[in-house]
Chain A
Amino acid sequence: MTTTDGYRARRYSPERSAWGRLTARDSVLRRLDWVMVWAALALSGIGTLLVYSATRNRTELNQGDPYYFLLRNILNTGIGLGLAIGAVWVGHRALRGAVPILYAISVLLTVAVLTPLGATINGARSWIQLGGGFSLQPSEFTKITIALGMAMLLSAKVDAGERLHPDHRTVVEALGLAALPILIILLMPDLGSVMVLVVIVLAVLLASGASNRWIAGLIGTGVLGCILIWQLGVLDEYQINRFAAFANPALDPSGVGYNTNQARIAIGSGGLLGAGLFHGSQTTGQFVPEQQTDFIFTVAGEELGFVGAGAIIFLVGVVIWRACRIARETTELYGTIVAAGIIAWFAFQSFENIGMTLGIMPVTGLPLPFVSYGGSSMFAAWIAIGLLQSIKVQRPVSA
């Protein structure tokens, strides 16, 4: 293709200063969903306080420095925000091209966990120690890559206008893509993450418009699998007891039952307004294990009461509500599927995490998004926020 010298067709691209670009009516900043950003920031802020309260006198964990976890959590949140900005900058569409690479990296990392590189914490081999007190939990990122990868496959033909809904072959491919990392994570065994991933897969399939038969078949297979595991006695009695102890702490009184019981006492004793930040006896006395991570909600329950703990649920609701709006309003199926995956992830993981502290869900090792201490989980959650923002910002203006 040749062009005439001296003449360059100027695309419509008014010169604007950087500041002008950011503040203009149609700027990225103005088009961001700030409600969601503020809600996520508020969750991270509350989380930071709760992490500090839970760890300031856990000397066996904080190496004698009461601010150890506080500072690290602030740093994690900062990195998370940076990753979110990066995600908006790059954009989910650009990432679409990088999905195979991201997927490959994430699978390799999960495999690495099973090698001697991995570290076992609380019976699950799901971490890679990075040194300096930092560690990586690849299963957190798998949540993103599965959503992105499945969305890419399922939306390709639809967004290209070739089909109204994904065909069976595509669905099989997408399920295969999800099955590989899920199986690896099942080997760790990190049941909590597997549960979340399965829910993400379900939501992604739902949002993709895949045939009802797939949805029904998947759910049916899951139920059948559970019945088979139960009936064939694959699990030992103590494993079943540990699973059921959330409902009846007496089944595993020194293990999960103890956690459940202490968590319930902590939350229950909070009452309407709580004991006040740093004043909870259950928290100060370290009666609840894993309180800065999986059981962070108990700190909120005890020290901030119904008002504070309810606010966390409310803020999670706000994030999800905004995400739902984004999912509904975007016209491109790719974005819709990614948003639906993230919605399912946030909602189910929050429900499972808070639910286990309240004694209505079995105890699994899952963090509360934005609130729990933990780098990987924080990063993954903020990347997800970035992706949602990108979907909103890059929404094509319908004709």
Chain B
Amino acid sequence: MTNLPDSGRTSRVTIRLIVIQILVFSLLLTLAGRLWYLQIRNGDEYTAEAADNHIQQVVAPATRGSILDARGVPLADNETRLVVSASRTDLMKMKDRGRTVLARLAGVLNMKPEDVAAKVRLCDAKTPKPCWAGSPYQPIPITDEATTQQALQIRERAEDFPGITAEPTAVRRYAGPGGSNTAQVLGYLSPVTDEEITKAKAGRSPLLRSDQVGRSGLERQYDSQLRGKAGVTRYEVDNLGRVIGKAKSDKAVPGANLVTSIDARVQAIAERELDQAMKDARKEVDKNTGTNYKADAGAVVVMEAKTGRVVAMASNPTYDPNAWVGGISAKDYQNLTGKDSGFPLLNRAIQGQAAPGSIFKVISATAAVKAGYAFDDNYNCSASYSIGNQVFKNFESKGYGPINLGRALEVSCDTVFYDLAYRQWQKDGGNNPKHPADWFYKTAHEFGLGKETGIDLPNEVTGRVPDREWKKNYWEANKDSWCKQGKTDTSYAGQIAKENCESGMRMRAGDSVNYSIGQGDTLVTPLQMATIYAAISNGGTLWNPTVGKAVISPDGRTVHEIEPRSHGRLPFDKRTRDQIDGALAGVATQGTAAWRFEGWPQKEIPMHAKTGTAEVYGKQTTSWFATYTGDYAVVMTISQGGTGSGASGPAVRNIYNALYGVDEKGKIDAKKALLPHPETGLPKIEKDGTIEARPIEPPPPSPSARKEEQDS
């Protein structure tokens, strides 16, 4: 061992060893630095990515609660349909990515293979619809209309259909019990949008991709209660999507049931009568235009007078809400929203607004009393009324000479109200108003006009009280176009424009006079008028109308009742209210509606009514009919339908007949009465979710229609 040179190494080797050492340790330092960068600096980011990686959610949608009528008859519930779904995860594991299986499935379902394939592809920016927008881990529905035969084929030959399931699944159904439709009140569902998901994320009831959301009507108003909470099972999955464990899971909570105050039987009658009344109106010739009435739209509201609960609410034209179930087709959508559709999605009871005509006179009468004109004083009911060179006709009535306000209501004398309004206008300063009292406008506001009634249905419109403030704003917005038109146009419209341009900012005498009989720029909804007439019936309380009566948990245990709330009182004392009440009874017995209530058992069921026929510039008159008893208020309107009692009268009478079991001769048969008193109880929902409700039959055709058959 000593034959080695003393100098085991040269300095060259020593230096190079040091170089190697430095290089080696700088490599290790690099690793440590990079490790710090990934784990400490950017650790959170990767932690989130890892969570995304291995947690997959499978959503079990909650059963949506039913919407029931007051007696428990389901207006909207779920039916079990055989839904054939494909698991994308399973299909993608196959060699041909499931192509063979889907083609085989298409054969069984009598569908085109390419249609089936299109349904299971995932939506992205480049993929046109149809495509699947939900989670790829969610079973993708191919059809919800499989027959039992098809489902059996799929289930019995499971080995031929790996990844395909045929399961009975709950699908929304609008059953239309007893021939009722209730489409606009119920509303409809459609799949949730991305924006809604983002928006709802922070809220109390977050939405899932698979959710359907109420788009209008009760489905929308009570969406969060009806929807329930979808069950989410979070699976830990491995790199192939195989489940390796279950993470935190939330059980599905079925949605609550909504009990409404709608009575499906009355609803069916109301719809039938509205439809019949419009059909009949179209046969009548309008003397003003010489053509048949168009009767293009109508609405009727049946309301409990003492609570404001809605027993029936119909809007015409209407549609079948089942068109929305399972996704609406482009053609159906066009039929519901196109120009020539008549816009059946509109609920005209809350979204249709028109001048009220003479049914407004209860407001004018109250205003007159408030302004100091005694109800029982006599006022001249002349055949016409002149202010300067302007002549205002007594539209619905003739000259009756001096009469009190009650009689003026009975015979719907316009000139009495013209005079009162004109005198008040003069008192308020005429064309140079100084601190005007504006009783007629103030009273209209106090009757709840010009704002929502607060019904539990979305998108209610406000109507309009054309007071000084509105006039001023309206003029500001329109004066430029009016003045322009007024300069060149010499037609009638041009003259009006010119007049508006010059004086539209002022409350003119003619405006006030027209306003007093519900003409001109005033707009009301049928529901507002029903609320007002119900309030006259109940002594003056303006109820917020309600359709929902109670929200009941699926097992029937917790009941959350929806209590009626008031939004004010009518601004009259008891005496005035009784006087108006008496006058309206007179309308039904000896006034403008008497011919429609011939033989009505007035003693047993005191009937009150007011007719209205509103002029609409460029259109046929709007028919209004507002009525009430001690229990109900019924208001019907038909756009371009003719006079109040003429077009709407028989229909309203038929509704009352059905409610109280009154036959055409006026005899009351308690057994035939559908709802002589409002339903106060709630339907019972059993623990297992079943609801006892006797099936109901559709009503026979309207008596008016039957009469017609006999005539021909």
Chain A residues with CB under 8 Å of chain B are: 57, 159-161, 164-165, 203, 206-209, 262, 264-272, 281-282, 284-287, 301-302, 305-306, 309-310, 313, 316-317, 320-321, 324, 327-328, 330-333, 336, 340, 343-344, 347-348, 350-351, 354-355, 358-360, 396, 398-399
CB of B370 within 8 Å of the partner chain = no
With both chains docked as a complex, state the minimum distance between the C-beta of B22 and any C-beta of chain A, in angstroms: 10
CB of B712 within 8 Å of the partner chain = no
CB-CB under 8 A for A265 and B13, given A284-B238, A347-B27: no
B9 touching A333, Cβ below 8 Å = yes
CA–CA, A340 and B45, complex, Å: 40
B20 touching A207, Cβ below 8 Å = yes
Could you list 15 A-B pairs, sorted by A, with CB under 8 Å? A266-B46, A267-B35, A271-B40, A281-B51, A281-B54, A285-B53, A310-B35, A324-B17, A324-B21, A328-B17, A331-B8, A333-B9, A336-B8, A351-B28, A354-B31
CB of B38 within 8 Å of the partner chain = yes
CB-CB under 8 A for A358 and B35, given A161-B3, A284-B238, A347-B27: yes
Interfacial chain B residues near A284, Cβ < 8 Å: 54, 236, 238, 244-245
- Residues of B1-33 whose CB lies within 8 A of A: 1-6, 8-10, 12-14, 16-17, 19-21, 23-25, 27-28, 30-32
B24 touching A320, Cβ below 8 Å = yes
With both chains docked as a complex, state the minimum distance between the C-beta of B515 and any C-beta of chain A, in angstroms: 72
B43 touching A340, Cβ below 8 Å = no
Interface of A is mostly: helix
CB-CB under 8 A for A358 and B38, given A351-B27, A351-B31: yes
B34 touching A332, Cβ below 8 Å = no
A270 touching B39, Cβ below 8 Å = yes
| Residue of A whose beta carbon sits closest to that of B49 | A265
- Residues of B464-509 whose CB lies within 8 A of A: none
CA–CA, A358 and B20, complex, Å: 23
A398 touching B39, Cβ below 8 Å = no
Partner of B39, one of A206, A272, A351: A272
With both chains docked as a complex, state the minimum distance between the C-beta of A285 and any C-beta of chain B, in angstroms: 4
CB-CB under 8 A for A327 and B46, given A159-B4, A267-B35, A399-B2: no
B31 touching A306, Cβ below 8 Å = no
CA–CA, A313 and B28, complex, Å: 7
B35 touching A269, Cβ below 8 Å = no
CB-CB under 8 A for A360 and B8, given A268-B45, A281-B53: no
- Residues of B222-267 whose CB lies within 8 A of A: 236-240, 244-245
CB of B288 within 8 Å of the partner chain = no
CB of B125 within 8 Å of the partner chain = no
Interfacial chain A residues near B27, Cβ < 8 Å: 347-348, 350-351
CA–CA, A191 and B54, complex, Å: 33
Complex A-B, nearest 9 residue pairs according to Cβ-Cβ distance, in ascending order: A331-B8, A268-B46, A269-B50, A347-B24, A285-B238, A351-B27, A271-B43, A269-B47, A161-B5
CA–CA, A252 and B508, complex, Å: 80
With both chains docked as a complex, state the minimum distance between the C-beta of B29 and any C-beta of chain A, in angstroms: 9
B13 touching A396, Cβ below 8 Å = no
CA–CA, A320 and B12, complex, Å: 21
CB of B42 within 8 Å of the partner chain = yes
A309 touching B24, Cβ below 8 Å = no
Chain B residues with CB under 8 Å of chain A are: 1-6, 8-10, 12-14, 16-17, 19-21, 23-25, 27-28, 30-32, 34-36, 38-40, 42-43, 45-47, 49-51, 53-54, 236-240, 244-245
CA–CA, A337 and B180, complex, Å: 98
With both chains docked as a complex, state the minimum distance between the C-beta of B178 and any C-beta of chain A, in angstroms: 56
A57 touching B54, Cβ below 8 Å = no
With both chains docked as a complex, state the minimum distance between the C-beta of A296 and any C-beta of chain B, in angstroms: 14
CA–CA, A267 and B245, complex, Å: 22
CA–CA, A284 and B237, complex, Å: 9
With both chains docked as a complex, state the minimum distance between the C-beta of A308 and any C-beta of chain B, in angstroms: 10
| Residue of A whose beta carbon sits closest to that of B7 | A331
B24 touching A358, Cβ below 8 Å = no
CA–CA, A396 and B20, complex, Å: 23
CA–CA, A165 and B9, complex, Å: 9
- Other than A284-B54, A284-B238, A347-B24, give 5 A-B pairs with Cβ distance below 8 A: A165-B12, A206-B20, A264-B46, A285-B238, A348-B27
With both chains docked as a complex, state the minimum distance between the C-beta of A252 and any C-beta of chain B, in angstroms: 17
A343 touching B20, Cβ below 8 Å = yes
Interfacial chain A residues near B34, Cβ < 8 Å: 355, 358-360
CA–CA, A330 and B9, complex, Å: 9
CA–CA, A347 and B50, complex, Å: 30
B35 touching A360, Cβ below 8 Å = no
Partner of B28, one of A203, A286, A316: A316
CA–CA, A239 and B28, complex, Å: 28
CA–CA, A396 and B6, complex, Å: 10
CA–CA, A269 and B54, complex, Å: 12
Interfacial chain B residues near A165, Cβ < 8 Å: 10, 12
CA–CA, A24 and B309, complex, Å: 105
CB-CB under 8 A for A267 and B39, given A286-B239, A287-B238, A327-B17: yes
A281 touching B28, Cβ below 8 Å = no
CA–CA, A320 and B47, complex, Å: 33
CB-CB under 8 A for A399 and B244, given A269-B47, A333-B13: no
A264 touching B38, Cβ below 8 Å = yes
A396 touching B4, Cβ below 8 Å = yes
Interfacial chain A residues near B14, Cβ < 8 Å: 328
B30 touching A336, Cβ below 8 Å = no
| Residue of A whose beta carbon sits closest to that of B50 | A269
CA–CA, A26 and B34, complex, Å: 43
Most buried by A among B5, B16, B38, B53: B38
A209 touching B12, Cβ below 8 Å = yes
CA–CA, A301 and B3, complex, Å: 51
CA–CA, A287 and B6, complex, Å: 58
CB-CB under 8 A for A209 and B16, given A269-B43, A324-B21, A348-B27: yes
Partner of A317, one of B8, B28, B45, B240: B28
B17 touching A340, Cβ below 8 Å = yes
B19 touching A206, Cβ below 8 Å = yes
CA–CA, A111 and B42, complex, Å: 46
A313 touching B6, Cβ below 8 Å = no
CA–CA, A25 and B318, complex, Å: 106
CA–CA, A396 and B9, complex, Å: 13
Partner of A399, one of B6, B10, B21, B28: B6
Most buried by A among B3, B35, B54, B240: B35
A306 touching B36, Cβ below 8 Å = yes
CB-CB under 8 A for A310 and B46, given A209-B16, A270-B39, A286-B239: no
B47 touching A268, Cβ below 8 Å = yes
CA–CA, A203 and B245, complex, Å: 50
Interfacial chain B residues near A271, Cβ < 8 Å: 39-40, 43, 47
With both chains docked as a complex, state the minimum distance between the C-beta of A262 and any C-beta of chain B, in angstroms: 8
